[in-house]
Structure 1
Amino acid sequence: MENWRIKLSLFLNYFVFAILLNSVGTVILQVQNNFGVSEGAASTLEAFKDLSIAIASFLIASYVVRIGYKRCMLIALGIVSAMTLMMPMLPAFWAVKLLFAAVGVSFALIKVSVFATIGIITHSEKEHASFMNFLESVFMVGVLSGYFIFSAFVDDADKTSTSWFRVYYVLSAMSILAFVLLLSTKLDESKVHTEKSAGLGEDFGKMLSLLAKPLVLIFIGSVFLYVMIEQGMMSWLPSFNQRVFNLPSSLSIQMSSILAASLAVGRFAGGFVLKKMHWFKVLSFCIIAAGVLMLLSLQLAGSGSTREVSGWADAPLAAYVVPLIGICLAPIYPAINSVILSKLPVTQHAPMSGLIVVFSAIGGTTGSIITGNLFGVFKGQEQIAFYLLLIPIVAILIVLFFFKKETDKIPFEGGGG
């Protein structure tokens, strides 16, 4: 398999950061239990993570080519290895904020570098879209694993226990393993160094100039809407499970893994389907199906459950059905990212990846904070917060129609050797 070692490294990098980034939903639940913080205060963890991603991406994306994709990824893995190693010694809300800020900055380096690297190891638009979906499916497997890893350290007998902070020793070991694998892997970046700009200012200007393209602006709108939907659900599903279905904390976290599993399955399947079918047909079907399933599953959830639940077998049917929306949503994000990148020359992949990361982060923060505050407003009726996600679901279908019209005008520009 061509480039198998670097592809494995990209998969492992994404797997590690998937656990760290998407632990925010679990941590939101735990800091409310441990430190008595409000829903609004807990939701700011999403901002510490996503705004760090956005700011770092905006500032460094245009310089990633100069620093080097591999070097950027090594720096990121080094930062999270050190931070996670220190976390068990710092069981406090301020330390959690600091961790997510560090993870955010590191992920900005990882995601821009990974997305740009894909452009030099794939050869066609369909191969690019397929690999992107497989990569994102590995990301969701990481998210899925994270729920079980974290829940194994949660003490249901004592909600105020901070013993769950020991999970960060495990995550530190995984980060170090990813660092060693990448360090020992060769990556030929010569293709993107063939056209060097006059200076850093010109590189940064090229990234900003992308914002003048109608195609890019429409794409940004679709990315923002998608991440707002996904992160709004993912960050608050553990709390939703606990409040609506009366599940214990550890089970609330574990059952949230169904959403991650659904996203992983959907993206893995999308990797095959997108090799055969046009992306717009696939995504249109997925969005409509997601909206229908959202309505049906929340109707099934009804007014929740008041009976005591002790395990998976006791959980109500709706607790299994609500997160299945992820199967329908799954292919959207990697597909639209692949489409925009495959329409640009490889020398523009790093700055475009930076914009993807920036607006994904802003969308994620917006979705989590809005959903968190809606949870506070509709206490006892948390389903309403999820019902309101139907608004961006309808909006993204409209935006993607215009995105298709723009992309149809441009041939494939990426490709690797």
Structure 2
Amino acid sequence: MKNAGIKISLFLIYFVFAALLNSVGILVERSQTIYEIAKPDAAFLELFKDLSIAIMAFAVGSFLPRLGFKRAMLISLAVVFFACLGMYFGNSFWSVKLLFLTTGLSFAVVKVAVFALIGYITDSKKSHSSLMNLIETVFMLGIIFMYVIFPLFFNDEVDKNAWLRGYLLMAALIAVAFIIILFSKFDITSSPSEGFSKDFAQMLNLFTKPLIWVFVAFAFLYVMTEQGIMTWLPTFNKDTLKLDAKLSSQMAVLLMVSIALGRFLTGIIAKKVKWFYISVVCVILAVVLVLLVLPLAKNIDAIEINSLADLPVVSYLFPLIGLFLAPLYPLVNSTVLSSVEKSKHSSLAGILTFFSAVGGTLGSLLIGNLFDSFGGDKVFYLSLIPFALMFFIFFIINRLTTETTLES
């Protein structure tokens, strides 16, 4: 397989960072239970992570090719390796903050590197789209891994610090990824740097292109919607569907599984079907699912759950929205990136990562602040607004990418 070493490296590093990044929900609970941190202080971890991603992504996008993609990935892995050890030995809320700070900063570098590298190791828009979907599928598998495997270390009744051994496992996985990437050949030749100020100016110059503004709007809306649903689905299960806390989190994993499955299938379908048709159909189906399924969440009474058959039907059906959300982000990202010169992929990936992080933070805050006001059975109807906006954005992006390719 051509560029097999690079592709394996991208899969591995995305898996590791997906697991660490999306452990916020787990660490929020652990911080309250183990470190006796108040809810408002624990909730600050989400912002801590996303702001570090946003700031670093905007700063690193222009000069990453000069640093070197392989070197940047190795440095990022080394940083989070020591952050995981810091969690195990530090065992404090400050260790948690440091973990998310370093993970956020490192992931910003990794995401820009990965998105840029995809352009260098694929030779067509369809192969670019297919690889993008597979990498995003691996990202979702990393999230599932964290939520399924990490809690197995919990043993609060016997040893309240037993959960920290999960970070020794993460450190070991990071070390494996580091070694594989270290010995992988990265035969990538990027355009020579003209200096940081000129590189940064060229990145900002991308905002003179209409396509970039539309792309930024899509990235913001999509991540705002996905994160809003993903972050608050356990609360929806608990408060609205009347499931217990543990079952609420377990059922939320269905959303991650459906997104992973959706991206895996899209990686196959995208080789034969144009991104535009897949995206339009998926956003329509997402709207239909919201309109048909959310009414089932109204006025549910608490009942004893003795088997999976006792669960409310909506607890199974609503997470299936992940199947329709799944294709949108990687397909549109791939379409726009592959319409830009490879030398600009790093800068564009930095812009994308910045606005994605901001959108994710606002999505979580928006749903969180409106959850009690609207009620859990109504708050997710708000997703219909960004879905409608994305529907029209697809037509604009399709026209802009069909007519022209961004030039210097």
Match of 2:389 in 1: 395
Aligned amino acid, residue 37 of structure 1: A
For residues 281-328 of structure 1, the C-alpha deviation after alignment (integer angstroms, 9 at most, x for no partner) is: 110110011111122222222234412446645433222211110000
Match of 1:354 in 2: 350
Match of 1:75 in 2: 75
Match of 1:140 in 2: 140
Give 1:12-411 correspondences, 5 Å limit: 12-34=12-34, 35=36, 37-38=38-39, 41-154=41-154, 163-190=162-189, 192=190, 195-309=191-305, 312=308, 314-375=310-371, 377=373, 381-411=375-405
Moved more, 333-342 or 16-25: 16-25
Contact persistence 1:25–1:238 (CA under 8 A): no
Contact persistence 1:129–1:334 (CA under 8 A): yes
Secondary structure, counterpart of 1:235 in structure 2: helix
Provide the alpha-carbon RMSD of the alignment: 2.3
Contact persistence 1:78–1:179 (CA under 8 A): yes
Paired with 1:235 and 1:163, the residues of 2 have a C-alpha distance of 25
Paired with 1:176 and 1:108, the residues of 2 have a C-alpha distance of 19
Contact persistence 2:63–2:193 (CA under 8 A): no
CA 104–234 in structure 1, closer or farther in 2 if over 3 Å, else same = same
For residues 378-411 of structure 1, the C-alpha deviation after alignment (integer angstroms, 9 at most, x for no partner) is: 5xx3233322222212221122222222111125
Please state how far the C-alpha of 1:93 moved relative to its aligned partner. 3.6
CA 41–243 in structure 1, closer or farther in 2 if over 3 Å, else same = farther
Aligned amino acid, residue 363 of structure 1: G
CA 312–93 in structure 1, closer or farther in 2 if over 3 Å, else same = farther
CA 309–33 in structure 1, closer or farther in 2 if over 3 Å, else same = farther
Contact persistence 2:86–2:95 (CA under 8 A): no
**TM-score under structure 2 normalisation?**
0.93
Contact persistence 2:119–2:345 (CA under 8 A): yes
Contact persistence 1:53–1:107 (CA under 8 A): yes
Please state how far the C-alpha of 1:30 moved relative to its aligned partner. 4.2
Match of 1:6 in 2: 6
Moved more, 196-205 or 339-348: 196-205
Paired with 2:231 and 2:73, the residues of 1 have a C-alpha distance of 25
Please state how far the C-alpha of 1:360 moved relative to its aligned partner. 0.7
Aligned amino acid, residue 339 of structure 1: T
For residues 147-170 of structure 1, the C-alpha deviation after alignment (integer angstroms, 9 at most, x for no partner) is: 102332345879x95643432222
Please state how far the C-alpha of 1:5 moved relative to its aligned partner. 1.8
Moved more, 313-322 or 3-12: 313-322
Unaligned 5+ runs, structure 2 = none
CA 315–167 in structure 1, closer or farther in 2 if over 3 Å, else same = farther
Unaligned 5+ runs, structure 1 = none
Contact persistence 1:131–1:271 (CA under 8 A): yes
Between the two proteins, the alignment pairs up a number of residues equal to 406
Aligned amino acid, residue 128 of structure 2: H
Contact persistence 1:44–1:369 (CA under 8 A): no
Aligned amino acid, residue 77 of structure 2: L
Secondary structure, counterpart of 1:276 in structure 2: coil
Percent sequence identity over aligned pairs: 45
Structure 1 runs (4+) greater than 6 angstroms displaced: none
